[in-house]
Amino acid sequence: MADQSPPSTPLFAAFPKSSAADWAARARESLKGRSLESLPGETEDGLPREPIYSEASCAQLLHLQLVDPPGAVVEGELPAAWEIRQHPQCTEAAALGRELAWLAARGQRVLPLTLGRQVPRDGQALGRLLSGLPSGKAVVELEAGPEVALAHRLLGTLPGGPHVLLADWISPALIQGKHPLATTARDLAHLWAASNPEPLSASWLASGVTAHEAGASPAQELACWLACWTAGLRDLEEAGAPLEEALAGARHELAAGREVFDTMAKLRAARLLAARILEACGRPPEQRRIVLRVRGALRTQTRHDPWTNLLRATLQGFAAGVGGADSLHLPSMAEGLGQTDEQARRLAANTQVILQEEAHLARVADPGRGSWYLESLTAGMAEAAWSLFQDLESAGGWWAALVEGLPQGWIREAAERRAARLARRREALVGTSVYPNLAEKLPDWARDSHDPEAVASTGDDFAPLRPRRLAEELEALRRRGEAAATQGAGPVWLACCGPLRQHKARADFCRGLLAAGGWRSIQGEGAADGDLAAAAAFQSGAPVTILCSTDESYPELAPAFVAGLRRREGEAGRRPALILLAGHPPEQVDALRDAGVAGFLHVKGSMSDLFTQILHHVEVST
């Protein structure tokens, strides 16, 4: 019988070997004149992103020297698919019951529910809510927040099981800015110590999601998660719970963002960090694996062009799946807007099925393992997070650091940097900051959505970590722009000068930029000189006009345009229009401002500042 054993030749033996110099030469060829040295960048946490990685990049990474890094699948075992755990979004009882039945019918084993927001506070009402579920097949996971005793009583009324009680007294405290009550940890410790006749599993949550939604970078989120975990362990120990029970009962949760490699590295780094904590707690190597839940982030969801939220969730699902999530919730297109929609929920759930069954993401254990870039990023993120965690511990622990404002300061700075990148289009949100569509017809759940007003209180004990979408500021400015337009502010006039090739590129840029703020624009024909362009701008009656031409023409063109427009406005007794200029020639800025130009539209400028300037002028005039 012929030998059926696989060939022993290494997989890549047939390919010629390439040196680092060969790779660099090929990279330079692809750049078409741009230098290789111009490519390196940084992550949000200041970690370097090199253009080319090599085996030498990972030679000193300690985690690669382990035979089985934390979270690795043992050789010979098939990788397990992550658990699809979509959180129901409905709050009204009848709609929620239908949604739960839909999820259960499609194979979701554990059905998460939130006490207070979704679950009524009496057992009979809860029973009616779950009456449409298949008998004995669905397990309820009741997210109790700090109300462990009440959740325990409610779950005790349910048949089947074992149902799950999930306590989380830390996340609500972070959002409210108040220290949690010690009774929650005591109730959980008593529950573990008691013999419970009803089938019930009790656990608690250590989460970094609140920090992420408030604006934290990946390393900051990891540090805050570690701080929440250690703070919870201390609370439980003080309440009398054995360390063994507290460790075994912990469930861990992180967010999946839209940066695929950053999310993969973050989840992989979390397991390295958890192993270090568990080692310090005296756990043997085989017991240093954590149960890692992942939730798709809401902070990058947008109100405009909301269908791109589905694409963002798909990227989140990909990153979480290949990054090693044990369970995953992908947000629906409407979830970040505080809304719910049946189609949006169905698409979110089916996205996970497609990623598992059609993309086969769960067929390979740790697909990123061995990638020099990803391994370097994983190690760097773990080190950065551990350093931040040590800062929190040095401040006296999690709650003392919050009172001091230490993590809030990190997160605020990271959020401000991200918002600045968005405003300057260094970071893009399709449909919001780039490619806006003023003629789009939003679905009801997007059109009617409004973010909650910021609460003036800073919390009783410390500044809270409040969730905030990245698009909120630009969306608010766009709403104001659209409102001004409906009240007669009119479109912006693009005063173009010279032949088409002289003004087209800048006029197109201005049109797209203005649309992000809700402003329509009308483009004038290329005028031969500044005075003729001023005549056309005056005839338009627009409250805002933008001069579009070349840097070389502006020294002569701009003063003539401003003077011509102001003369005509004075003669007609009309309020002066806001005059802006497309471009930003550095050596001319002072002279152009002296000539009467109020601002500049350019690729490095802030959209937020521009729209605020236009709105101030238009709203004052109306």
Using DSSP bridges, classify how beta strands 327-329 and 163-167 pair: parallel, antiparallel or unpaired: unpaired
* Stretch 7-33: mean pLDDT: 79
CB 146 within 8 A of CB 169: yes
Where does residue 132 rank: exposed (0-12), middle (13-18), buried (19+ CB within 10 A)? middle
Which of 59-73, 94-108, 143-157, 204-218 comes out lowest in average pLDDT?
A: 59-73
Q: Whats the size of the chain, residue-wise?
A: 622
Q: Which residue has the tokens 């074992």?
A: 162
Lookup: tokens for 262:
């950053």
pTM reported for the whole predicted model:
0.91
Please give the pLDDT value at position 449. 66
Which of 82-91, 324-333, 383-392, 458-467 comes out lowest in average pLDDT?
A: 458-467
Residue 201: C-alpha distances to residues 31, 100, 140, 167, 192 (Å): 57, 20, 10, 11, 9
Concatenated DSSP letters of 63-109: GGGSSS-TTPPPTTPPPPPPEE-PPP---SHHHHHHHHHHHHHTT--
Lookup: tokens for 222:
């990891």
Please give the pLDDT value at position 69. 58
Which of 119-123, 225-229, 525-529, 535-539 comes out lowest in average pLDDT?
A: 119-123
> From CA 220, how far away is CA 208, in angstroms rounded?
9
Q: Is the pLDDT of residue 326 over 90?
A: yes
Q: Which residue has the tokens 């250690």?
A: 230
Please give the pLDDT value at position 116. 87
Please give the pLDDT value at position 79. 64
Residues 6+ apart with CB under 8 A from 190: none
Please give the pLDDT value at position 455. 46
> From CA 445, how far away is CA 430, in angstroms rounded?
18
> From CA 494, how far away is CA 506, in angstroms rounded?
10
Please give the pLDDT value at position 456. 44
* Stretch 100-106: mean pLDDT: 89
Residues 6+ apart with CB under 8 A from 272: 63, 69, 70, 378, 379, 382
Q: Is the dihedral of CA 476, 482, 487, 493 positive or negative?
A: positive
Please give the pLDDT value at position 301. 95
Where residue 36 falls among pLDDT bands split at 50, 70, 90?
confident
Please give the pLDDT value at position 7. 57
Q: Is the pLDDT of residue 1 over 50?
A: no
Where residue 621 falls among pLDDT bands split at 50, 70, 90?
low
> From CA 359, how far away is CA 110, in angstroms rounded?
23
Lookup: tokens for 173:
């405290």
Concatenated DSSP letters of 399-442: HHHHHHTHHHHHHHHHHHHHHHHHHTTSS--BTTTBS--TT---
Please give the pLDDT value at position 156. 83
CB 177 within 8 A of CB 463: yes
Return the bridge partners of 496, or none: 548
Q: Is the pLDDT of residue 603 over 50?
A: yes
Lookup: tokens for 163:
């149902």
Strand, coil or helix: what is 550? coil
Lookup: tokens for 529:
């000189």
Among 577, 611, 581, 607, smallest CA distance to 594 is for 581
Number of Cβ within a 10 Å radius of residue 563: 15
Please give the pLDDT value at position 239. 93
Lookup: tokens for 281:
């707690």
Q: Is the pLDDT of residue 386 over 70?
A: yes
Where does residue 618 rank: exposed (0-12), middle (13-18), buried (19+ CB within 10 A)? buried
Q: What is the share, in percent, of the chain residues with pLDDT greater than 90?
A: 68
Q: Note the pLDDT tens digit of each residue in 349-378.
A: 999 999 999 999 988 888 888 889 999 999
> From CA 288, how far away is CA 271, in angstroms rounded?
8
Please give the pLDDT value at position 199. 54
Q: Which residue has the tokens 């000539």?
A: 595
In 184-339, which ranges are E strands?
200-207, 250-256, 292-296, 327-329
Q: Is the pLDDT of residue 67 over 80?
A: no
Q: Note the pLDDT tens digit of each residue in 329-354.
A: 999 999 999 888 899 999 999 999 99
| Mean pLDDT of all residues belonging to the chain | 89
Q: Note the pLDDT tens digit of each residue in 275-295.
A: 999 999 999 888 889 999 999
Cα-flanking dihedrals φ and ψ of residue 495, to 5°?
A: -85, 95
Please give the pLDDT value at position 210. 97
* Stretch 160-183: mean pLDDT: 90
Lookup: tokens for 254:
């992180």
Q: What is the share, in percent, of the chain residues with pLDDT greater than 70?
A: 92
Q: Note the pLDDT tens digit of each residue in 563-595.
A: 999 999 999 999 999 999 999 999 999 999 999
H/E segment holding residue 601: strand 599-601
Q: Is the pLDDT of residue 214 over 70?
A: yes
